[in-house]
Amino acid sequence: MFEKSTWIRLPRNVVVGHDVLSEAGEVITSTHLHGRPLVVTSETPKAVAGDFLLERLEAAGFDPAVVVIEAASFGAVERVLEAAETVEPGFLVGVGGGKPIDIAKMAADRLDVGFVSVPTAASHDGIVSGRGSVPEGDTRHSVAAAPPIAVIADTGIIAEAPWELLTAGCADIISNYTAVKDWKLANRLKNVEYSEYAGALSQMTAELLRDAAPSIKRGLEESAWIVVKALVSSGVAMSIADSSRPASGAEHLFSHQLDRIVPGSALHGHQVGVGSILTEYLHSGADGEWRAVRDALASIDAPTTADQLGISDEAVIEALTTAHQIRDRYTILGDGIEEAAAIEAATRTGVI
Ligand SMILES: NC(=O)C1=CN([C@@H]2O[C@H](COP(=O)(O)OP(=O)(O)OC[C@H]3O[C@@H](n4cnc5c(N)ncnc54)[C@H](O)[C@@H]3O)[C@@H](O)[C@H]2O)C=CC1
Ligand SMILES: O=C(CO)COP(=O)(O)O
Ligand SMILES: [Zn+2]
């Protein structure tokens, strides 16, 4: 008897383009979300988009409230839940980079209300995904949550964000190459469930972005458009898989470990990009495809070395040799690699 079943939860409205934040009231109304919006944001995103969004929501007849968070932590989720006790929101809106969006997503899930994603930077592929990524002690959780009901990505705002945030988003996408390789490896060696559709979509997204690299230029709104579309596509792959596996392998474990060892040194996307060079080397060897990964990163101006990340060689080696401990996710790192092997990989690829 056939007993398999699956739920694929995807956003209903994905609205991308110039000045679309002006239409926020209309976009949200069309999703049939009701009640008070609770806007979850951080300081800069509030200034560049949050305050304007509050105005637009009021103009559309909503009575919004706002909570400002600083970090991606379970404590921040609790702060939003506390704010929700008085606001009694009908839905949550995450405005910002990956951190406020993840917090709003997880808090909405806990409150069992809808969630709207308003990225102010194309810096990560959590814009659309049904996951939250949160550090806790010496581990990093990939928390299941509902994906946004609507995404409002204003390319005017995103194009004005610092260029580094856009190159970080590109690198987060380029890292899909190695994430998919790790996922396939885990399927072969550990019988981890693998989705051909999610894997193919994730890989194709990285390929399309690599091919579009010549059109991705500083200060060009068209570039924000290209990158946001790729981030949406990558997030959909995670929703199809119901896991961050299509977009997060050993290169992400490496980055999560750097967040612990040298917190705040570099952007998530930049760290996973450099991690991808290293793990591609571990997958395919000295004559393998690590140069293609490095060149793809360099072509969009993303860091390819520890120096460019602003991270010491020692931190890179420590992160690479301990990344497998971050979570129970089988990757090319297996049960851990020897320090000598890590030094060899980092030296041969020019990362250190
Ligand atoms: N849930 C998921 O599937 C995914 C989650 N993530 C998570 O997202 C986070 C990384 O995202 P980031 O956006 O790099 O972090 P972030 O939210 O800390 O943003 C990075 C910086 O950009 C600033 N910023 C954002 N928009 C700006 C604008 N328009 N102008 C000027 N500054 C602006 C923020 O204030 C912050 O200082 C990590 O915690 C990562 O684990 C990343 C990928 C996928
Ligand atoms: O960053 C992610 C995908 O780009 C997902 O993060 P996790 O590794 O926490 O699942
Ligand atoms: Zn990522």
User: Regarding the domain with residue range 164-348, which homologous superfamily does it belong to in the CATH classification?
Assistant: Dehydroquinate synthase-like - alpha domain (1.20.1090.10)
Ligand 1 closest atom vs CA 238: 3
C-beta of 142 in contact with ligand 2 (< 6 A): yes
Q: What is the predicted pLDDT for the residue at 349?
A: 98
Residue 141 class from Cβ within 10 Å (0-12 exposed, 13-18 middle, 19+ buried)?
middle
Whole-number Å distance, alpha carbon 341 to ligand 1 midpoint, is 32
Query: Which of 143, 203, 248 most suits a substitution to test ligand 2, by most atoms within 8 Å of the C-beta?
Result: 248
Q: Report which ligand 2 atom has the smallest distance to the Cα of 133.
A: 9
Q: What is the pLDDT of residue 4?
A: 87
pLDDT of residue 226: 97
pLDDT at 167: 98
Check pocket membership of 24 for ligand 1, CB cut-off 6 A.
no
Ligand nearest to the CA of 71: 1
Pocket flag, ligand 2, residue 140 (CB < 6 Å): yes
DSSP string, 200-269: HHHHHHHHHHHHHGGG--TT-HHHHHHHHHHHHHHHHHHHHHTSSGGG-SHHHHHHHHHHHHSTTSS-HH
Probe target for ligand 1 pocket from 21, 52, 102, with the most ligand atoms within 8 Å of CB: 102
Q: Which CATH class is domain 13-161?
A: alpha beta
Regarding the beta carbon of 99 and ligand 2, being less than 6 Å apart is answered no
Tens-binned pLDDT, residue by residue, of the chain (352 aa) = 899 888 999 999 999 999 999 999 999 999 999 999 999 999 999 999 999 999 999 999 999 999 999 889 999 999 999 999 999 999 999 999 999 999 999 999 999 999 999 999 999 999 999 999 999 999 999 998 989 999 999 999 999 999 999 999 999 999 999 999 999 999 999 999 999 999 999 999 999 999 999 999 998 999 999 999 999 999 999 999 999 999 999 999 999 999 999 999 999 999 999 999 999 999 999 999 999 999 999 999 999 999 999 999 999 999 999 999 999 999 999 999 999 999 999 999 999 9
Gap between the Cα atoms of 134 and 349, Å rounded: 30
d(CA 298, CA 107): 37
For position 146, what pLDDT does the model report? 86
Q: Output the CA 197–ligand 1 centroid distance in Å.
A: 27
Which of these, 295, 297, 294, 274, lies nearest to 170 by C-alpha position? 297
* Token pair 């450099």 in the structure block, residue: 274
Q: What is the pLDDT of residue 201?
A: 98
CA distances from 167 to 153, 179, 225, 271 (A): 17, 18, 13, 11
What one-letter code names the amino acid at 290? W
What are the domain boundaries of the chain?
13-161, 164-348
Alpha-carbon gap, residue 33 to 12, rounded angstroms: 12
Q: Which pTM value belongs to this model?
A: 0.97
